[in-house]
Amino acid sequence: MNHQGFLSFFLTAGCDNFAQAFKRSLVAAVWFVFLTFPIMVIRVNTIEKTVHWHWERMGYIAVAVFFGSFIWRWLLARKELKKDESKEETRVESLLTRVQSHPILKYSALVILAGMAAVFPKVFDLYQTNIMISCLLYIVLGLGLNIVVGLAGLLDLGFVAFYAVGAYAYALTNMHWGINFWYMLPVGALLGALLGVLLGFPVLRLKGDYLAIVTLGFGEIIRLVLENWGDVTMGPSGISSIDRPALFGIELGVIGSTHYMYYIMIGLMILTIFSVNRLQNSRIGRAWLALREDEIACQAMGIDKMKTKLMAFALGATWAGMAGVIFAAKTTFINPASFTFWESAIILSIVVIGGMGSIRGVIAGAVILILVPEYLRDFAEFRMLLFGAIMVLVMVFRPQGLISAKRKIYKYKTNTAGAPNE
Which of 15, 40, 131, 246: binder of other proteins (CB under 8 A)? Answer: 40
| Nearest partner of 401 among 134, 126, 149, 158, judged by Cα | 149
DSSP state of 13: T
Site for other proteins in 274-333 (CB under 8 A): 296-297
SS (HEC) of 359-396? HHHHHHHHHHHHHHHHHCHHHHHHHHHHHHHHHHHHHH
Q: Which stretch binds other proteins (CB under 8 A): 173-181, 205-213, 283-291, 329-337?
A: 205-213
Using N-to-C axis directions, what is the helix angle for 55-82 and 383-397, rounded to 10°? 30
Nearest residue (CB) to other proteins, 262 versus 387: 387
Question: Which whole-number Å values give the CA distances from 211 to 125, 147, 149, 388, 396, in the listed order?
Answer: 43, 16, 11, 21, 23
SS3 content of the chain, % helix, strand, coil (to 5): 75, 5, 20
Least CB distance to other proteins at residue 56 (A): 12
Residue 38 makes contact with other proteins by CB under 8 A: yes
Nearest residue (CB) to other proteins, 132 versus 157: 157
Q: Which stretch binds other proteins (CB under 8 A): 159-167, 183-191, 199-207, 412-420?
A: 199-207
Residue 209 makes contact with other proteins by CB under 8 A: yes
Least CB distance to other proteins at residue 325 (A): 26
Distance CA 365, CA 354 (A): 4
Residue 51 makes contact with other proteins by CB under 8 A: yes
Distance CA 31, CA 29 (A): 5
First-to-last alpha carbon distance for the chain, in angstroms, is: 34
Residue 231 makes contact with other proteins by CB under 8 A: no
Least CB distance to other proteins at residue 298 (A): 12
DSSP H or E stretch at residue 357: none
Residue 387 makes contact with other proteins by CB under 8 A: yes
Nearest residue (CB) to other proteins, 40 versus 190: 40
Residue 114 makes contact with other proteins by CB under 8 A: no
Which of 205, 278, 307, 407: binder of other proteins (CB under 8 A)? Answer: 205
DSSP state of 245: P
Which of 45, 241, 414, 416: binder of other proteins (CB under 8 A)? Answer: 45
Residue count, binding to other proteins (CB under 8 A): 61
Q: Which stretch binds other proteins (CB under 8 A): 124-132, 204-212, 257-265, 404-412?
A: 204-212
Question: Which whole-number Å values give the CA distances from 337 to 92, 236, 334, in the listed order?
Answer: 37, 7, 8
Nearest residue (CB) to other proteins, 64 versus 221: 221
Q: Which stretch binds other proteins (CB under 8 A): 13-21, 105-113, 118-126, 222-230?
A: 222-230
Least CB distance to other proteins at residue 286 (A): 19
Nearest residue (CB) to other proteins, 92 versus 395: 395
Residue 343 makes contact with other proteins by CB under 8 A: no
Distance CA 417, CA 394 (A): 40
Residue 255 makes contact with other proteins by CB under 8 A: no
- Between strands 42-45 and 50-53, the pairing is antiparallel
| Nearest partner of 11 among 1, 20, 2, 21, judged by Cα | 21
| Nearest partner of 205 among 309, 316, 311, judged by Cα | 309
Residue 377 makes contact with other proteins by CB under 8 A: no
| Nearest partner of 371 among 392, 391, 350, 357, judged by Cα | 350
Least CB distance to other proteins at residue 211 (A): 9
Which of 112, 113, 395, 419: binder of other proteins (CB under 8 A)? Answer: 395
Could you count the other beta carbons within 10 Å of the beta carbon of residue 25? 20
| Nearest partner of 278 among 136, 408, 106, 410, judged by Cα | 408
Q: Which positions touch other proteins (CB under 8 A)?
A: 31-32, 34-36, 38-40, 42-47, 49, 51, 54, 57, 76, 153, 155, 157, 202-203, 205-206, 208-210, 212-214, 216-218, 220-221, 224-225, 228, 296-297, 341-342, 345, 348-349, 352, 381-382, 384-385, 387-392, 395-396, 399
